[in-house]
Structure formats: structure tokens, C-alpha cells
Amino acid sequence: MEKYEVIIIGAGSSGIICALNSSKKTLLIEASDRIGKKILATGNGKCNITNNVIDAAHYNTPLVSQYFKKFNTIQTLKYFENLGIHTYADNEGRRYPLSNSANTVLDLLLKALSLKKQLRIIVNSIPLSVAKVNCGFSVNTKDEVFTCKKLVIATGGNSGMQYLNQLKIDYINFKPSLVGLKTTKNKGLAGVRVSNVRVKYGNFDENGEILFKEDGISGIVIFNLSAYLARSNINSGKIKIDLLANIQEDDLLNMLCISMNNNSYYTLVDVLEGFLHKSLAKNILEKLALDKKYAKDCTQQDVNRIVNLIKDYVVDFVGYSDNNQVHTGGVDLKNLDDNLQHKQIQNLYFIGEVVNVDGVCGGYNLQWAWTSGKIVGDCL
Ligand SMILES: Cc1cc2nc3c(=O)[nH]c(=O)nc-3n(C[C@H](O)[C@H](O)[C@H](O)COP(=O)(O)OP(=O)(O)OC[C@H]3O[C@@H](n4cnc5c(N)ncnc54)[C@H](O)[C@@H]3O)c2cc1C
């Protein structure tokens, strides 16, 4: 049985930062063959490290604010600069490494970890059980039993559930978030990308770009909608999309009438192709049974119906796709103190996605991983 001051289970973004900041004899246990693997997939391989504007409005709970007071964007950027990771912001405030490569982030984090003297890292190892014992905690893997005074759970999303159950920790059920949505068939639209759409559902109202799939929709605005739906426990419904959000309804009506007059021998599909992707033009006109009509035969009522459908296109959402970027749910911040230590079980800490903190797209989830990992690392 080997004794440690600190054991961290999970070597993703939060676990790595936590280990880097621990000044004690620490064991970092990782299930996969490499630590920090997920970082490589973030931001489409570019790693959207954080955002210039981090505030509670971007998360599912206002309770995150107190933690960002301890370690915010500016401090994170300074911290990364000290590790040699320099960043730039795009025009939406999303920060990426100057190299535009997530490899840089992981490489330099690994470099810093390699310089830590009191740190042991084990990969390809999944603790089978964790338990509270007199001197702290015991962590049992297939091959070894470890004990520690302080235990940090950094397993990300729902993979930490077994430990929450073993330690009898209350948590909010995990649900996928920041994920594409399954829909009924989008006839002929697979692969069609539409910019400048406005997506509405309940109180959700956001502009952006969507990508149609055969039976789904995706894109950042849809990921953000999935966060809203997951937090509200909604599994089906009708999503309204304004397909030409940058053109007012009256203007669109006029433009369409003028285009029809100018091109009266065009089919309506030809006319509408001047406004929308051809497949979308066809899909809309088929829905209205106007796809065979010529502009010269089009009535005012037909034009109104076309405009109404463009401005109020309905997609039937029937569930969540796979490959979610984060989970909503986890250990409630109400049960954790200022240092993310469990209020009932001393020396037990939770960081990253296993905590019920999830943000929208834009660097907010990694920022939570860095913030929570740093806070706990500093107090170990
Ligand atoms: C494709 C993709 C792109 C993303 N892009 C961005 C982005 O650009 N910006 C952003 O802010 N967020 C992004 N995210 C979200 C972000 O990656 C996560 O929010 C963040 O990594 C969570 O950090 P974490 O440390 O909690 O969990 P993770 O980074 O998931 O790390 C958890 C680690 O624990 C290990 N583990 C799990 N169970 C066990 C176990 N039982 N024993 C031992 N080890 C275990 C896992 O193998 C993993 O290495 C993206 C996510 C995905 C999937």
C-alpha cells in the first residue's frame, strides 16, 4: 500500500492544472493511455482556451462567480504565458494559442508536469473503488491500493459517477450538453450550412450558423441551444428558425416580389436560389407544394407563405446526438465550499465537469476546468 498526500483521479484539463499546482506528494491517475487527450480535440484542434469575457451569464449557475474572483481569464492567461503558451483572441473574444494548435497547450502542460518532483502519474488505470478511511481515503486499482489524505475527483462528466455513488455524494443527474440535436428527416438538406440564422425556443434566442444533417442539426448556436434544453430537461419540441435573420420580413417580401417580376419565367426554385442555398429553396417550396410553379404564376398569397416559412422555419427536435462536448449535472456547488471541498466530507474535492457547472461554447468550459483545478491545486 503506497501513501500519498494527494490523489487526483482523472488527468484531463482540470486534473492536470490541479496536479501542477499541488505542492504535496501527489499521485495522478488516468484511465486512458495518455493524459490530457481531450485537450487535443478542443476547439476543432485549436483549443479555445478561454474567453475575454467570463461571467456567470455564460454558465448554468450564478454560483460560479465566486470562483472566478479567485482565478479569472486574466490570471489564466498570465498563468499560461508563464508556461510559454501565448494566445490571441478572435473577434468574439475566444482565445486560442498563437500556434493555433491544441498540441501546443498539451505539450507545454506536459513539459511543466515533467518538472514536478513529487508527482507520480499512472496511465491506463481506473480505480475500481474509493472509500473514506481513518487517515483519509483509500483508492483501489486493479494492481495496487493507495491511500491519501486528500482526494480530488477530476474525472470529467459522467465517468466519475461510480465514485460519487461509492462516497454517497448527492449529485444532479448528468445529461449531454453542447451537442447536436436529432430531428425528424430534413429532406434533401444533409450538409447544407446556413449562416445568419436566428434560433428560438422558449427563452432561448440566439443568432448564428447551423448545419443541417439528414436527421439532425448542429453548429455553435445549436450546441448552445442544447445546453438550454438539457438544463431544462426538454427532450423534444419544435425549434423555430429564421433562415434569413439579417433581412427584415417586409424587406424580404419586397425583394422577393421584385425578383419574381424581373424573372417571371424562372421557376420559384430559381428565384429562391438567389436568397437561400438551392437545397433549402427546394425543401421550402416542396413543403408549400410550390416547387413546380413559375414566378409568373405566383400569387401574393404564395409569396406571403414563402416569406412566412423562411422567417419561421420549424424543425422537430426529437433528442440529443452523440459526441457531446460537455455534460450538465454533477456535484452541486451548494455542497462545496470556497475551495471546492465537499462541505460534509473533509479533504474531498471536485473539479472540472464532474461539478454541476457547464458553460456555452466559447472557451467557458475549459476556463471552468482551469479555474477549479487551480483553486484546488493551490489549497492542497
Ligand atoms: C470535441 C470537444 C471539443 C471541445 N472544445 C472545447 C473548447 O474549445 N473550449 C472549451 O472551453 N471547452 C471545450 N470542450 C469541453 C472541455 O474539453 C471540457 O469541459 C473539459 O475538458 C473538462 O475538463 P475535465 O478535467 O473536467 O474533464 P476531462 O478533460 O474530460 O478529463 C477527465 C479525465 O479523466 C479521465 N477519467 C475518466 N474517468 C476516469 C476514471 N474512472 N479513472 C481515471 N481517469 C478517469 C479521462 O480519461 C480524462 O482524461 C470540448 C469538448 C469536446 C469533447
pLDDT tens, position by position, 150-185 = 999 999 988 889 999 999 999 999 999 999 999 999
| pLDDT for res 300 | 95
Q: Write the residue with the smallest CA distance to atom 9 of ligand 1.
A: 363
> What is the β-pairing status of strands 26-29 and 119-122?
parallel
3-state secondary structure of 49: coil
Sequence spans of domains, the chain? 2-176+326-379, 179-323
State the Cα–Cα distance between residues 219 and 201, nearest whole angstrom: 16
What CATH number has the domain spanning 2-176+326-379?
3.50.50.60
State the Cα–Cα distance between residues 39 and 48, nearest whole angstrom: 9
- Whether the per-residue pLDDT at 356 is higher than 90: the answer is yes
Taking only the tens place, the pLDDT of each residue in 68-84 is 999 999 999 999 999 99
The rounded Å distance from CA 157 to ligand 1 centre is 8
The rounded Å distance from CA 359 to ligand 1 centre is 13
Taking only the tens place, the pLDDT of each residue in 256-285 is 999 999 999 999 999 999 999 999 999 999
The rounded Å distance from CA 12 to ligand 1 centre is 5
State the Cα–Cα distance between residues 79 and 323, nearest whole angstrom: 30
pTM for this prediction = 0.94
CA dihedral of residues 166, 63, 152, 16 (deg, nearest 10): 140
First to last CA, the chain: 21
Which atom in ligand 1 lies closest to the alpha carbon of residue 50?
A: 11
State the Cα–Cα distance between residues 54 and 371, nearest whole angstrom: 11
Q: Are 365 and 359 in contact (CB under 8 A)?
A: yes
358 pocket-lining for ligand 1 (C-beta < 6 Å) = no
- Whether the per-residue pLDDT at 59 is higher than 90: the answer is yes
Q: Are 12 and 370 in contact (CB under 8 A)?
A: no
Give residue 128's pLDDT band: very low, low, confident or very high (50, 70, 90).
very high
Radius of gyration of the chain (CA): 25
**Beta partners for residue 234, in sequence order:** none
| pLDDT for res 157 | 85
| pLDDT for res 252 | 98
| pLDDT for res 175 | 92
141 pocket-lining for ligand 1 (C-beta < 6 Å) = no
